[in-house]
Structure 1
Amino acid sequence: MQYRRFGKTNLNLSIFSLGTMRCLASETVFNETLERAISLGINHLETARGYGKSEEFLGRFLQQQGLVAREKIYITTKLTPNPDAEKMSRWIDESLQKLQLNYIDCLAIHGVNTWEHLEWITKPNGCFLPLQRALDEGKINHLGFSTHGSLEVILAAMETGLFEFVNLHYYYFWRRNAPAIALASQKDMGIFIISPGDKGGLLYTPSALLTDLCAPFSPLALTYRFLLSDDRVTTLSTGASHPKEFKSILSLFEQNDKLSPEESQKLKELEEHLNRVLNTDKCSQCYQCLPCPETINIPEILRLRNLTIAYDLKNYGQYRYGMLENAGHWFPGNKGHRCTECGECLPRCPENLDIPKLLKDAHTRLKGTSRRRLWE
């Protein structure tokens, strides 16, 4: 296993972390997955108050492992932003109790997704006060934030100077947050890429077409290498649901270098295939079509259409599309069938796309059925 410095926290984290949201089928599966992760050299475990019984399971697991193991393992837990400072203070103590710990290595404010969330943190008497107190008292060693928010909200949160690290969505198939990677690096913040195998394309179960296009690499391995070849990135979440899921990425644990010529060529071929198949219907994700009067998430819907047509990632497209109108600020915006063909977006599109037509087509392809979130 390779390790990297987690920004100004100065923690040396394994380049792969274990997020514990997906291994909650039973406490036995949870323990076996964590045992396997640690045996492979993973030293960073991530949980959250909102992940069902994850904090409780982790607390019992740590007690079973003993204090020596605790000193070698870094724990991150997450608490959602809240306007009630007293509630945040109580939540910190409840997480410590569930985890059976005297201190938490890293605490992330979970889901700084809106301007209101950021205001709750930064306003006088906001929820940052109990967090600062917990830092002063040694209950928390390092503070960061996770986010599913807009790029503008993310950059503003970084500019506050309150945070030492960020849990960020950024993948080969979705690079909107590239400026956030740059700013976090400039500010020496640790960068933890979350859900690259799941929200990055359901790459544990890729389409046959994408598998063929990526050969001899697997889609999961190639996109992980895209992320890890960037030395600004500290660690990736594996989100394994079972010990056997580590098998497909074992070869990556020692790869801590730049992309090989073969890997670079394969990524170039993926991009060329996308351009060739979509031709004049390709959305290049400039976001100039927003805002939409019907609050349709136009760029995301057209991105999912891109991936469905070019790489046959229909399952992924339906999974993400089904979250629109069902996940609130975690995945905001309306679906494509809400388009009234008002035409406001058309003159703003530098590619002259027929956006209403493409939205209708995307809805037909992706409407599927809505899915529950993993911890529900």
Structure 2
Amino acid sequence: MQYRRFGRTDLSMPVFSCGGMRYQQTWDDAALDVVEKENQRNLRATIDRAMELGVTHIETARGYGTSERQLGLVLPELREKRPVAAQGGPEGLIVQTKIAPHKDPKEFRRQVLDSLERLRMDRVDLLGLHGINTHEILWHAVRPGGCLEVARQLQKEGRCGHVGFSTHGSTDLIVDAVTCELAGGFDYVNLHWYYINQWNWPAVEAATKHDVGVFIISPNDKGGMLYKPPAKLVELCEPLHPIVFNSLFCLQRPEVHTLSLGASQPSDFDLQMSALPLLERLDEVLPPILARLRQAMVEAVGEDAADRFREGLPAWDDGDNAGYINAPIVLWLRHLALAYDLTEYGKMRYNLLGNGGHWFSGLGAAHLDTMTAERLEKAYKKSPFADQIVDWLRDAHLMLGGAEVERLGRD
């Protein structure tokens, strides 16, 4: 295993973290009596495999169903064997959980303490404010007397080591959060950044400038459902598996400290770990794959559209937008389907629009024909592809629309 300094926490963070949202019994907030013996045995084997490989960061959340309670049957024993990592030293266990900010800071505190009881621990090393996806939620976190102040008080009480946040929000929002200094600011951030979604890089740069630790959320799943990649993507990434390619793409940047690996079983670590020896050969293995992926995108949508399709598009909640359509996301998913055959991934993400709340904001293009031509023209007139956007949106809906998808949990 390789380790990187996790920003100003000074923790020695493994470059792969064990995320806790795939091995639990259920997404329901259920008691332990629903947990089957085989499920708990598999969870324990998965954590043991993580420790064996040096994956010493275990990350979960209150919103991950039975995950916290099931980990509570495992982590206290591991903590005794592997004391807190403190300031460096990869041998220590690093435990993180995440709690959503609440309008009532007292309720946030109650939920943190309840999560500690579920984990059967007096303290977690990393406490994340889960889902800072809008400026309203950010304000509930950082306002005077808000949840971040509560988290800092819990830190003084010895109940958590460092405080960060997770987000599916816009790049501008993430930059605002990582640069905020109220209540001491945030020590780390969980965000999305990987090959198919690179637009949050300014937020990573802002985090680096402020010495904020950078944790990449779900690069295997949200990064393209790479555990079951389409044949075209497999061919484009040869001789690497897409998971290995994506890991190397992320870890080539020293600003990135750790990638979440949402393991569902012990063997899920194998592909990811095979990337580590290749970190010394990045200049050799990455350029040919990057060139093929780029060429496939250009052939599918054209060079100009590949580079500039987001330019001039209104935000989904912009007053001049048409029907709250999240055009940047819709067109992004269309491009991925056309270039890499990521159609199944595109359908999964597209059909969350309108069903994912602030975790996946805005709407798809199902209602495009209910709007006047004048309204659509006004919405997209600043785009260099103003004459094509509506056709592209309609094409995306025909390609990706279907049954509504409901979020199972919060990552």
* TM-score interval, smaller chain: over 0.9
Shift of 1:124: 2.3
Whether 2:379 is the aligned partner of 1:356: answer: no
Q: Give the corresponding residue for 1:334.
A: 363
Q: Give the corresponding residue for 1:197.
A: 220
Q: Distance in 2 between matches of 1:16 and 1:242?
A: 15
Q: Give the corresponding residue for 1:286.
A: 310
SS of residue paired to 1:260:
helix
Whether 2:174 is the aligned partner of 1:154: answer: yes
Shift of 1:238: 0.8
- Per the alignment, do residues 157 and 101 of structure 1 end up closer, same or farther by CA in structure 2, a change over 3 Å counting? same
Q: Distance in 2 between matches of 1:236 and 1:177?
A: 15
Output one character per residue of 1:18-41: Cα deviation in whole Å (capped at 9) or x when no partner.
101011142222111111111111
Map of 1:75-224 to 2, 5 A cutoff?
75-161=95-181, 162-224=185-247
Q: Distance in 1 between matches of 2:285 and 2:260?
A: 25
Q: Give the corresponding residue for 1:365.
A: 399
Q: Which runs of 5+ in 2 are unaligned?
A: 26-38, 85-91
- Per the alignment, do residues 285 and 100 of structure 1 end up closer, same or farther by CA in structure 2, a change over 3 Å counting? farther
Tell me which amino acid in the other structure corresponds to 1:323: L
Q: Give the corresponding residue for 1:36.
A: 49
Shift of 1:323: 0.6
SS of residue paired to 2:82:
helix
Q: Give the corresponding residue for 1:315.
A: 344
Whether 2:328 is the aligned partner of 1:304: answer: no
Q: Give the corresponding residue for 2:23.
A: 23
Output one character per residue of 1:318-368: Cα deviation in whole Å (capped at 9) or x when no partner.
010011010100000111122224212332112445111111110000013
Tell me which amino acid in the other structure corresponds to 2:137: H
Q: Does the CA-based 8 Å contact 1:297-1:334 persist in structure 2?
A: yes
Shift of 1:313: 0.5
SS of residue paired to 1:77:
strand
Output one character per residue of 1:103-143: Cα deviation in whole Å (capped at 9) or x when no partner.
11000100001111011122222222321210111111100
Q: Distance in 1 between matches of 2:356 and 2:327?
A: 16
Q: TM-score, normalised by structure 2?
A: 0.88
Q: Distance in 1 between matches of 2:196 and 2:347?
A: 15
Q: Distance in 2 between matches of 1:268 and 1:196?
A: 20
Q: Give the corresponding residue for 2:4.
A: 4
Q: Give the corresponding residue for 1:252.
A: 275
Q: Distance in 1 between matches of 2:82 and 2:294?
A: 44
- Per the alignment, do residues 277 and 31 of structure 1 end up closer, same or farther by CA in structure 2, a change over 3 Å counting? same
Q: Point out the more displaced range, 208-217 or 262-271.
A: 262-271
Q: Distance in 1 between matches of 2:199 and 2:102?
A: 27
Tell me which amino acid in the other structure corresponds to 1:19: G
Q: Does the CA-based 8 Å contact 2:300-2:335 persist in structure 1?
A: no
Whether 2:56 is the aligned partner of 1:56: answer: no
Higher relative contact order (CA 8 A, sep 6+): 1
Tell me which amino acid in the other structure corresponds to 1:212: E
- Per the alignment, do residues 258 and 352 of structure 1 end up closer, same or farther by CA in structure 2, a change over 3 Å counting? farther
Whether 2:355 is the aligned partner of 1:344: answer: no
Q: Which runs of 5+ in 1 are unaligned?
A: none
Q: Give the corresponding residue for 1:237.
A: 260
Q: Distance in 2 between matches of 1:328 and 1:322?
A: 12
Shift of 1:373: 2.9
Tell me which amino acid in the other structure corresponds to 1:58: L
Output one character per residue of 1:282-307: Cα deviation in whole Å (capped at 9) or x when no partner.
47343421132311110110000001
Tell me which amino acid in the other structure corresponds to 2:293: L
Shift of 1:70: 4.5
SS of residue paired to 2:223:
coil
Root-mean-square deviation (Å): 1.7
Q: Point out the more displaced range, 292-301 or 60-69.
A: 60-69
Tell me which amino acid in the other structure corresponds to 1:145: F
Q: Does the CA-based 8 Å contact 1:283-1:306 persist in structure 2?
A: no
Q: Does the CA-based 8 Å contact 1:281-1:353 persist in structure 2?
A: no
Q: Point out the more displaced range, 325-334 or 286-295.
A: 286-295
Identity of aligned residues (%): 38
Provide runs of 4+ in structure 1 moved above 6 Å.
none
Q: Does the CA-based 8 Å contact 2:311-2:384 persist in structure 1?
A: no
Q: TM-score, normalised by structure 1?
A: 0.96
Tell me which amino acid in the other structure corresponds to 1:355: I
Q: Does the CA-based 8 Å contact 1:166-1:192 persist in structure 2?
A: yes
SS of residue paired to 2:263:
coil
Q: Distance in 1 between matches of 2:360 and 2:57?
A: 26
- Per the alignment, do residues 172 and 319 of structure 1 end up closer, same or farther by CA in structure 2, a change over 3 Å counting? same
